[in-house]
Amino acid sequence: METYPPIYIGPALTIAALRNYIIDTALVEDQLVLMHPSDYDELALEYRETYNEHLPAPYMLLSVEIGASEKIWVPPGRVRVVEQNRSPHVTKQDYLSNSSPEEVYRCGYCGNVVDYDGAQLDTGVRQRKIYAIQTNDAVVVTEVHGYCCPQES
C-alpha cells in the first residue's frame, strides 16, 4: 500500500472539490482518498443536506473510494491518496480455485478420451481435453466404457 503526502485541493473539502480533484488528477479505482475524520463528517453533512440521504459507506465518487483516515495521518483540510492494490496479479492457484475443472472421460480399456457416456467426441473438444491433460490444468478424469472398445465388457 503506497501513500502519497497530504495535498491541499482547495479551501473546502466539498463533494465538488473532491470530484474536480479526482477528474483533474485522473484517479482510478485502485486509489483511495483519505480525509481527516472531522472533514469526513463535514462531507457527510454536506451529502445529507444535498441529497437528503446518509452518506453511503463506502462512499464512491466517480468510482474512487473516499474515506475517513484512521491509521494514516491526514491533516485537517488536506487529503491523502492511497494505492490500494486491489487488483493483484491473478495467480494460477486463484484461477484454478475460481474455475471449474475440465472434466475428462477416458475409455477404461484403451485410455481414449471420450464423451461422458463413452461416445466419440467432436475433434475440437477432444483436442481441448487432451491439451488440458498434457498441460496439467485442473482436470478430473473419469473412466468410462468407450465406444472404441465395444467388445470389452
Q: Which is nearer to Zn ion, 94 or 103 (CB)?
A: 103
By beta-carbon proximity to Zn ion, the closer residue of 6 and 118 is: 118
Residue 130 C-beta: closest distance to Zn ion, Å:
15
Residue (of 42, 45, 33) closest to 74 by Cα position? 33
Interacting residues toward Zn ion by CB under 5 A = 107, 109-110, 112, 146, 148-149
Select 77 or 108, whichever has its Cβ closest to Zn ion.
108
Q: Is 6 or 146 the residue whose CB approaches Zn ion more closely?
A: 146
- Retrieve residue 126's grid coordinates: 477432444
For residue 152, the SS3 value is: coil
Cα dihedral 43/12/30/59 (nearest 10): 10
- Is the preceding omega at residue 76 within 30 degrees of 0, hence cis? no
Nearest distance in Å: CB 147, Zn ion = 7
**DSSP state, 26?**
T
Which C-beta is closer to Zn ion: that of 45 or that of 119? Answer: 119
Please report how close the Cβ of residue 104 comes to Zn ion at its closest, in angstroms: 14
CA–CA distance from 73 to each of 6, 17, 32, 86, 103 (Å)?
9, 20, 14, 21, 52
* Residue 144 beta carbon to Zn ion: minimum distance, rounded to whole angstroms: 9
Q: Is 115 within 8 Å of 74 (Cβ atoms)?
A: no
Which residue's Cβ has the minimum distance to Zn ion? Answer: 107
Least distance to Zn ion, CB of residue 146, Å:
4
